[in-house]
Amino acid sequence: MLKEVWSFSGRYRILHLSWFAFFLSFVVWFNFAPFATAVQADLGLSEAQIRTLGICNVALTVPARIIIGMLLDKFGPRLTYSALLIYAAVPAIAFALAQNFSQLVISRLALSIVGAGFVIGIRLVAEWFPPKEIGLAEGIYGGWGNFGSAGAAFTLPSIAAATAFLGAGQVNWRFAIALTGIAAAIYGVIYYFNVEDTPPGKVYKKPERHGGLEVTSKRDFWFLMLMNIPLVGVLALLAWRLSNVGFLTPTGLIITWLLLLALYAFQTYKCWDANQELMTGKKRYSPEERYAFNQVAVLEVTYFVNFGSELAVVSMLPTFFERTFGLTPVLAGAIAASYAFMNLVSRPGGGLISDSMGSRKWTMTVLTACMGISYLLMGTLNSNWWLPLAVLLTMTCSFFVQAGEGSTFAIVPLIKRRVTGQIAGNVGAYGNVGAVCFLTLYSLLPQGTAGNHIFFQTIGISSLIVSFLCWFFLKEPKGSFAEHHEGEELVMPGITHQESFKS
């Protein structure tokens, strides 16, 4: 597969078109981080307001990834991805035109929905690649697409500087941010006319019922209800944070919390509706149809620490390098981008390791442990460090973070085929839960070395705890290295599933 991946035909064409769609969604999603100090100076924002905008950038991605997962299973990846990319232009342009903090918050919350695009490609790539290659394929999709955050850090400051003549001689962050949304919308149209949901002759499997994740035992249903609490709870945390900076009044905060309780009740109802026959005893799943939800839960917490920490660190790293080492914003952004730059090799590398080592469980466990150790070392960074060594440590840490992400989504598509979109949505949403939690912690810590140390060390300890959970509870998925997905030996009379992949 390593040789074939450079071709642009068949399934590899779908892979390349999809990772670039993901790349553009991440450029849009992370178009604020390189301009945090410029926006702060231009609009006279406080440090607390800037940190709050960083939290808003990942907030609504939590429910959006769940909703996108449901839409994905129902309508297919092509339509869902195209619509999301076209939508990206609206909040990006709104943020570029914002004149005060309230407008920045509203447009940033709306723009955070674009971060849900990742989930779509997970299902699409899984449709086109067999289990034995799923790790590398998903890793390439996730890693090369994830590089969009580094692409934003590298290119947007230069675009803003080059177009300064359009902004009265100042860094033209507004033009650069608006441009990202316009580019995404154009590509959304291109994507729709050049991608198919499945290989020729293969049926796109959908859940029997939509609206809530289907589970296969009563115990798993209650476990699902428990794991859904943080998905709403993190939004309550964000609302509290917004009240602290004056965006929400005390009354507005209470109303928001009540609305979130109603959201959880509605979510619970939809899950009950999807599993009503199981819970009332009218339906029983055969052993072949069952899957263990606790495996989804373990993957949720792994993504909480790996992707959650990446989102949080990418959001604060340019400012961290700028202030810790006294660098210019452009140079600090370029160096901080080394963290996301590793996505080009580390996330596919994590998937490839998962494909090659013969155990997806132990790959996940070891990578998460190494990630925890790396973050603990990053907790020692200060101005006394030699800058190249600090950059090397940052890149090493990012390798384990992103390889862990690749390993996570080498497992996700193998749990339960017909609900892959919803499982990917739930797991992906936990990445954003982690980001909001870590960024909220960062916003409450004192500025400077002490606060940075606590931030990195908290992530490191959390990662080590999750590594132990993987060690004790994660199981090797059935058919991890098979030639075809379970139950899909034949996609149509006379054509094997394996042959359809070669078409």
SS3 per-residue string spanning 1-55: CCCHHHCCCHHHHHHHHHHHHHHHHHHHHCCCHHHHHHHHHHHCCCHHHHHHHHH
Cβ atoms of 45 and 108 within 8 Å: the answer is no
The string of DSSP letters for 230-267 reads HHHHHHHHHHHHHHHTTSS-HHHHHHHHHHHHHHHHHH
Backbone dihedral region of 113: left (phi > 0), alpha (psi from -120 to 50 degrees) or beta?
alpha
- The predicted model scores a pTM of 0.81
Q: How many CA atoms lie within 13 A of 186 on its CB side?
A: 6
Residue 403's identity, in one-letter code, is: A
Cβ-count burial of 287 within 10 angstroms (0-12 exposed, 13-18 middle, 19+ buried)?
Answer: exposed
Query: To which H or E segment does residue 86 belong?
Result: helix 77-87
Q: Where are the domains of the chain?
A: 8-195+208-501
Structure tokens at 151: 């692409």
Distance CA 481, CA 354 (A): 10
Tokens (6 digits) for 179: 């441009």
Q: How far apart are CA 453 and CA 447, in angstroms?
A: 10
DSSP state of 286: -
Report whether 192 contacts 82 (CB < 8 A): yes
Separation of alpha carbons 335 and 125, rounded Å: 31
In the block, tokens 């068949």 appear at 10
What percentage of residues in the chain have a pLDDT greater than 70?
Answer: 92
d(CA 16, CA 18): 5
- Location of structure tokens 């005060």: 100
* Token pair listed for 275: 């599993």
pLDDT < 70 stretches in the chain: 1-3, 165-171, 207-211, 479-503
Q: What is the sign of the dihedral through the CA atoms of 33, 232, 419 and 133?
A: positive
Residue 191: name the closest of 111, 77, 110 by CA: 77
The tokens for 388 are: 């190249």
DSSP labels for 139-169? HHHHHHHHTHHHHHHHHHHHHHHHTGGGGTT
pLDDT on residue 205: 77
pLDDT tens digits, one per residue of 56-88: 887 788 888 778 877 887 888 999 999 999 999
Smallest CA-to-CA distance from 100 within 245, 240, 312, 317 is with 245
Q: Which amino acid is at 207?
A: P
pLDDT of amino acid 171:
63
Among residues 277, 310, 299, the alpha carbon closest in space to that of 227 is found at: 299
pLDDT digits (tens, 9 = 90+) for 391-416: 999 999 999 998 999 889 889 888 88
Encode burial over 369-394: b for 16+ CB neighbours within 10 A, e otherwise.
bbbbbbbbebbebeeeeeeeebbebb
Q: For residue 397, what pLDDT is reported? A: 93
State both tokens at 317: 């790293």
Q: For domain 8-195+208-501, give the fold.
A: Growth Hormone; Chain: A; (1.20.1250)
Q: Tell me, what's the pLDDT at 494?
A: 38
